[in-house]
Chain A
Amino acid sequence: MTKKVLTTPIKDEDLKDIHTGDIIYLTGTLVTCRDVAHRRLIEEKIPLPVDLKGKAIFHAGPIVRDLGNEEYEIVSIGPTTSMRMEKFEKEFIEETGVKLIVGKGGMGKNTEEGCRTHKALHVVFPAGNAVYAATSVKEIKEVHWKDLGMPESLWVCEVNEFGPLIVSIDAEGNNIFEENKVEFNRKKEEQYKWISEQVRFIK
């Protein structure tokens, strides 16, 4: 099987044959962007200092070593819980033209709609694998909004075949986590029924 690699700038047609559950990789520009950055753009109406059109964002707060002279090195980088950005993501996609959202865990209805309407993907990088991820970051090109501290700054990274990235929401708005949840909840009810009969310790 050939490795599916998306390269920035990503175009709508690049996403056409990608479906939930596929594994893809990213080459190009990946910008860390999480809670406060989303809040600033959407609620505080402060323009982002980076053009994200056709590019990728990463719900992540890295550990970065400051080498002096505005040079930095990524020590560890990995995804944070994407669901925290759910309330902003649809408008975020609309305003920025971002094509790939890399994070952890599922996102909800708003993001599904954003991905369907504006042709974008939400993908999962297996979380907790921050050294593995750091080794495919070639360099930090820029950093913005350093006033937010190390985890929340916008770190503009150049990456090479960054992945594995598991497609969680595709450009049709299909959502693997929401589909899985239906099955998980059904199985949970079965388990609850069975276990609750075994733990009637108060008699």
Chain B
Amino acid sequence: MNVTLDKIQQKEKMTDLMSKFISLVSYKLPDDVEGKLKELSEEEDNRLAKTIYKTMFENQKLAYELKRPSCQDTGVLQFFVKCGQNFPLIGQLDSILKDSVYTSTQQTPLRHNSVETFDEYNTGKNIGDGAPSIFWEIEEDSDKVEIYTYMAGGGCTLPGVATVLMPGEGYEGVVKFVLDRMTSYGINACPPLLVGVGVGTSVETAAMNSKKALMRPVGSRNENENAAKMEKLLEDGINAIGLGPQGLKGSKSVMGVNVVNTARHPSTIGVAVNTGCWSHRRGKITFDRNLNYEINTHEGVTL
């Protein structure tokens, strides 16, 4: 009886904290993104680009002061969860996350972005069938949970693309696939972008890797030497194209390129691209078994 009651209270507590965390992610960019944007703006000498950066910094300041979503498109929420096998609310986590999106939508407020497909109506709640999306990993012998919260608008979701190349096309084919997407769709996806590249066997493995790549900090490098080399080459290469903020030209195009890779079938190279816009609203929070939390992406912030 008491155990059940305790679980209900714990569930309420975690829903409340997650709802506040989602709200925070909507009005404050993570430290790595803030730092990189500042760095890029200082290197910029293009007239339009400078005006745009100035608007961006004023906007972020206002958003934080007024506690309002810095971008009106607060996305369909995505969560990447790494849950310890002994975390007490492991079985409740899906419903906690869904409820917290609903609560945060009322309280922040967030935009109603959940349209039921085929029936084609907006639920008006920002949650729907399969929305938010929640991706799971289970960690052995742990009683903690790490949760990445990600809010991507339609603009930077649109460039997402995956394909399967033949090995004969090699990593050269991967490079072409990524670069082509930058000049066609990347321009409109609110650069400077964080570009996530996934490499694996099939479309879904590559696509998942490319999205995980966007959870990695700006400025981090893949542990594999060749993959890290390709990250640097792509970053420098896309920067040399000079998309600038909003695709209106500038000295740089991207905040970075992150590659995440897994082993592949000998006959295929799965590749995918996902883009994060300059307003890369990603946050990571870790809870222990007593629901003490730590925010890893936004220093000095409490809920």
Among the 9-residue stretches A87-95, A112-120, A187-195, the one with 4 or more Cβ atoms under 8 Å from chain B is A187-195
Contact between A76 and B233 (Cβ–Cβ < 8 Å)?
no
Inter-chain residue pair count (beta carbon < 8 A): 190
* Smallest beta-carbon distance B179→chain A, Å: 5
Q: Which residues of B contact A190 (CB under 8 A)?
A: 240
Q: Which residues of B contact A134 (CB under 8 A)?
A: 68
Whether a CB of chain B sits under 8 angstroms from the CB of A28 is no
Q: Which residues of A contact B52 (CB under 8 A)?
A: 126, 166
Contact size range, B: 35 or more
Whether a CB of chain A sits under 8 angstroms from the CB of B74 is yes
Among the 9-residue stretches A9-17, A48-56, A177-185, the one with 4 or more Cβ atoms under 8 Å from chain B is A177-185
Whether a CB of chain A sits under 8 angstroms from the CB of B4 is no
Whether a CB of chain A sits under 8 angstroms from the CB of B111 is yes
Bound CA span A126–B192, Å? 12
Contact between A81 and B155 (Cβ–Cβ < 8 Å)?
yes
Bound CA span A60–B154, Å? 11
**Residues of A72-96 contacting chain B, CB below 8 A:** 75-78, 80-83
Binding site for B on A (CB under 8 A): 21, 23, 60-63, 65, 75-78, 80-83, 104-106, 124, 126-132, 134-135, 148-152, 164, 166, 176-177, 180-181, 183-185, 187-188, 190-192, 194-196, 198-202
Pairs of residues from A and B, 10 with the lowest C-beta to C-beta distance, nearest first: A149-B122, A105-B188, A129-B59, A191-B237, A132-B59, A196-B172, A130-B72, A128-B279, A76-B72, A199-B171
Binding site for A on B (CB under 8 A): 48, 51-52, 55-56, 58-59, 62-63, 66, 68-74, 109-113, 115, 121-122, 124, 154-155, 158, 167, 170-172, 174-176, 179-180, 182-183, 187-190, 226, 229-230, 233-234, 237-238, 240-243, 245-249, 277-279
